[in-house]
DNA sequence: CCGCCGATCCTCT
DNA sequence: GAGGATCGGCGGG
């Protein structure tokens, strides 16, 4: 059982909100450069109202993507059907399907018109462990429940199988299926920065941020170019 | 611990 | 057509 940590700090923006887990982040939080937002997201909490009980994950690893000026960003070549929400108002969810079987989640940053985003890479499950374990049967340790972008969305139920929140969902909402809670920011001296995982372009840009020494941070993998299809031809 | 490999299908050129 | 902001399993040092 263990239903989360008691401590219902006052909170309660105006009216709604289940105060147990604290308030959601305000819109203004996301109106900054993605790298700045990314750093500030460590220690904050993702709240999922998908399924029979809530699941809450405390963020320990994130990556910033700077839209049109960042060759590693999905928005680098301009708006498309998939990435259009990245060009909209900050604080919304950008969810995408990858490798034919996984889902990853981003928080959109900046004002409408710019295309920043922060990939939610990993975190620590702080509530709803039971449900998270059911959704992540291959995880052997607690620390591996959300130790990767696709693992994190799976633990939260933010995928198609669980009818999770789609791109465009407002994470500032106090009633929606996907929310971003204020939590407790991580002290600057505990934040480490390094190159982003698995990206082919701009591989040296240090826009991956994580909590120093935290066991829930995913292991780094460099980009592996696809196998050359042996030149059959002739 | 590290590296390689296959799975699987949507998206953009 | 080709490749991808991944994961998990397997084999070697």
Residue (of A136, A115, A117, A116) closest to A57 by Cα position:
A136
φ, ψ for residue A73, nearest 5 deg: -85, 145
How many CA atoms lie less than 13 Å away from A53 in the CB half-sphere? Answer: 16
Footprint of strand C on the protein (CB under 7 A): A 63, 65, 72-75, 98-102, 104, 106, 117, 119, 136, 138-139, 144, 148-152, 196-200, 218, 221, 224-226, 229
Q: What angle do CA A124, A37, A217 make, to 5 degrees?
A: 25
Reported as a single tens digit per residue, the pLDDT across A113-164 is: 999 999 999 999 999 999 999 999 999 999 999 999 999 999 999 998 889 9
Q: Which fold has domain A20-211?
A: 3-methyladenine DNA Glycosylase; Chain A (3.10.300)
**Mean pLDDT in residue range A68-80:** 97
Strands A208-211 and A191-194, sheet pairing:
antiparallel
**Mean pLDDT in residue range A206-222:** 96
**pLDDT on residue A9:** 33
Chain centre distance of CA A224: 23
Percent of chain A whose predicted confidence (pLDDT) is above 90: 85
**Mean pLDDT in residue range A87-105:** 98
Q: What H or E segment, with its residue span, contains residue A199?
A: none
**pLDDT on residue A161:** 86
Confidence band, pLDDT 50/70/90 cuts, at residue A19? low
């Amino acid at each position: 059982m263990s239903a989360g940590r008691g401590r219902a700090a006052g909170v309660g923006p105006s009216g709604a909100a289940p105060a147990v887990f604290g308030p959601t982040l305000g819109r203004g939080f996301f109106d900054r450069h993605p790298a700045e937002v990314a750093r500030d997201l460590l220690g904050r909490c993702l709240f999922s109202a998908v399924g029979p009980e809530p699941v809450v994950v405390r963020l320990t690893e994130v990556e910033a993507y700077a839209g049109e000026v960042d060759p590693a960003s999905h928005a680098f070549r301009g708006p498309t059907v998939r990435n259009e929400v990245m060009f909209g108002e900050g604080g919304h969810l950008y969810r995408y399907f990858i490798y034919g079987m996984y889902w990853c989640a981003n928080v959109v940053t900046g004002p409408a018109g710019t295309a920043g985003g922060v990939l939610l890479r990993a975190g620590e499950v702080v509530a709803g462990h039971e449900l998270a374990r059911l959704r992540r049967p291959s995880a052997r340790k607690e620390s591996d429940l959300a130790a990767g972008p696709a693992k994190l969305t799976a633990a939260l139920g933010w995928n198609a199988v669980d009818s999770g929140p789609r791109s465009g969902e407002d994470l500032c909402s106090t009633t929606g299926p996907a929310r971003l809670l204020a939590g407790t920011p991580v002290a600057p001296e505990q934040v480490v920065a390094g190159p982003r995982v698995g990206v082919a372009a701009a591989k040296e840009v240090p826009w991956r941020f994580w909590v120093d020494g935290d066991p829930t941070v995913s292991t780094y993998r460099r980009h592996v170019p696809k196998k050359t299809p042996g030149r059959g031809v002739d």
